[in-house]
Amino acid sequence: MIRVNEGYLTLEPTFFFTRIGEAVAAYEKRHPEKRLLHLGVGDVTKPLAPVVIEAMHRAVTEQSEAASFHGYLPETGTAFMKEAVAAYYAKRGVDLSTEEIFISSGAGDDLGAILHLFSSENRVLLPEPAYPAYEDANRMDGRRLVRLAGTPENGFLPLPTADMDAELVYLCSPNNPTGAVYTRAQLQRWVDWANGRQAVILFDAAYEAFVVDADVPRSIFELPGASACAIEISSLSKTAGFTGTRLGYTVVPKNLRVNGTSLNDLWRRDRCTRTNGVSYILQRGGEAALSEEGQRQNRANIAGYLANGRILSDALRTAGLWFTGGKNAPYLWVKCPNGMSGWAFFSELMERAQIVGTPGEGFGSTGAGYLRFSCFGSREDTEEAAYRLKHIL
């Protein structure tokens, strides 16, 4: 008898961000006269850097002529894009070979797909609150989750203890949704824990470009021992505004082995079967984004988003709301007033101030009673939201 994958039946029928989109659309239908300020979904608003646009235009022209046309490309990425990623890491003192870099369509794709490499009997440690795709992707595979609570007491940065038993762990720093960042010393504890028990860290570095403090690592591979126990998954979505353009990279070190099997070999084998790679045009855009000039242009955009974080932080302080994040990260994690749930505060803010946040409940049970604000809005919307937070709440 044919059967569906029953892991899917354990999921909420609608993905969390889709539910928020529906609630916002319903409000807009009821109040077409009101202008909502979107500080909810973590999507960028600034356009691609000029150097990226120019590179992609040139690539389109190349594809229009037989002499420069490209058909299928290497499944794991072009040499030029891998070299651009390797140079980006080298600047931070992380030495990677291009064979360790796999170009992808974004972190979201690989955070789920990387699970192909691991038995569904492996247990996954999930520090919460967490980006909801980690849990969903593991449920789809029927894998057991062991939850680890991020709380105000541990700064939303749970650390390993000797009795923690699991084969995989997701770490995300800078963190979505809390904006918390592991210091070098804290992240080293996770690396030591993983090496001590042959566990593998799936390190989500989607927000690495927002780190400004020197003692906060942007890559797990900045830490000694990480190449024996970690896979890093990242993308240009937040680094260079590629959320709608789609380009990312995953680093699987050569010396990462599970019971003698090379995960780098397995991932190469997986990719060659399941994907035909990423568009030439996008990879030229990605190469330009990681060039010196591209990084200079993107840093200006990121500085603008971090400035939004400071504007919102000031407003929250004035409004008397407890929050964390907004520094080294594009999110603020706000405690809802008067014991309200995240969903109740979400509705109240939308009704009273036309501000859209994201209810913390969507990031796991430890997110209950919190609301996430994103710093990716336009400056105009952020300033208006700050004004309303100060004067309406």
Binding site for ligand PLP (CB under 6 A): 42, 106-108, 111, 131, 172, 176, 204, 206, 235, 237, 243, 248
The span from the CA of 31 to the CA of 350, in Å, is 11
What's the min distance (Å) between Cβ of 109 and ligand PLP? 6
| CB 78 within 8 Å of CB 280 | yes
When the beta carbons of 135 and 354 are compared against ligand PLP, the nearer one is: 135
Tokens found for residue 292? 């010196």
When the beta carbons of 17 and 27 are compared against ligand PLP, the nearer one is: 17
When the beta carbons of 237 and 297 are compared against ligand PLP, the nearer one is: 237
What's the min distance (Å) between Cβ of 331 and ligand PLP? 9
What's the min distance (Å) between Cβ of 108 and ligand PLP? 3
Using CB atoms, what's the residue nearest to ligand PLP? 108
| CB 353 within 8 Å of CB 380 | no
DSSP code per residue over 187-214:
HHHHHHHHHHHT-EEEEE-TTGGG--ST
When the beta carbons of 235 and 264 are compared against ligand PLP, the nearer one is: 235
What's the min distance (Å) between Cβ of 42 and ligand PLP? 5
The span from the CA of 186 to the CA of 173, in Å, is 11
The dihedrals phi and psi of 259, each to the nearest 5 degrees, come to 50, 40
What's the min distance (Å) between Cβ of 286 and ligand PLP? 12
When the beta carbons of 170 and 267 are compared against ligand PLP, the nearer one is: 170
| Cα–Cα distance list, 116 to 138, 143, 226 (Å) | 10, 11, 21
| CB 151 within 8 Å of CB 178 | no
When the beta carbons of 56 and 206 are compared against ligand PLP, the nearer one is: 206
DSSP 200: E
Q: Give 245's contacts (C-beta < 8 A, 6+ positions apart).
A: 48, 236, 282, 285
When the beta carbons of 84 and 389 are compared against ligand PLP, the nearer one is: 84
What's the min distance (Å) between Cβ of 237 and ligand PLP? 3
When the beta carbons of 204 and 287 are compared against ligand PLP, the nearer one is: 204
DSSP 240: S
What's the min distance (Å) between Cβ of 236 and ligand PLP? 8
What's the min distance (Å) between Cβ of 358 and ligand PLP? 11
Q: What value does the CA radius of gyration of the chain take, rounded to a whole number of Å?
A: 21
Tokens found for residue 364? 């796991």
Q: Count Cβ atoms within 10 A of the Cβ of residue 293 and give its class: 0-12 exposed, 13-18 middle, 19 or more buried.
A: middle
| CB 185 within 8 Å of CB 152 | no
